[in-house]
């Protein structure tokens, strides 16, 4: 029974360390076993990075497929080929 208890404590320490590393919070002391706090921090960071809508030429877009289309079109225009300007200098210039 003691071996199982020690093994469980080791597993909890490993889980706590993983959660702490994932949350990148350095103000929490080791041994707190406060993994719910660490998970909440990580989930909050993920929610902050989520894009819910984009403004397109036809208004707001909220569907992922449509947002991907807007992004692809934007970068195709941004990094696409430039139109060649038909300007020539005279031979005497």
Does residue 89 fall inside a structural domain?
no
Residues 1 and 41 occupy one common structural domain: yes
pLDDT score of 17? 77
pLDDT score of 69? 92
| 83-90 average pLDDT score | 78
Query: Which residues are registered as beta bridge partners of 60?
Result: 55
Calculate helix-pair angle for 2-23, 35-49, nearest 10 degrees.
30
pLDDT score of 24? 62
Residues 44 and 57 occupy one common structural domain: no
- Residues 24-73 have pLDDT tens digits of 655 555 555 566 777 777 778 778 888 889 998 889 999 889 999 999 99
pLDDT score of 70? 92
Residues 2 and 17 occupy one common structural domain: yes
Does residue 63 fall inside a structural domain?
yes
Residues 41 and 66 occupy one common structural domain: no
Q: Are the CB atoms for 12 and 33 separated by under 8 Å?
A: yes
> Domain limits at 15?
1-26+33-49
- Domain count within the chain: 2
């Amino acid at each position: 029974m003691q071996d199982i208890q020690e093994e469980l404590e080791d597993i909890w320490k490993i889980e706590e360390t993983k959660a702490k590393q994932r949350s990148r919070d350095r103000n929490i002391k080791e041994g707190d076993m406060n993994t719910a706090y660490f998970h909440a921090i990580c989930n909050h960071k993920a929610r902050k990075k989520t894009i819910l809508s984009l403004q397109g030429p036809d208004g707001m877009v909220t569907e992922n497929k449509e947002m991907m289309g807007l992004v692809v079109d934007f970068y195709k225009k941004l990094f696409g080929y430039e139109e060649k300007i038909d300007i020539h200098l005279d031979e005497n210039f």
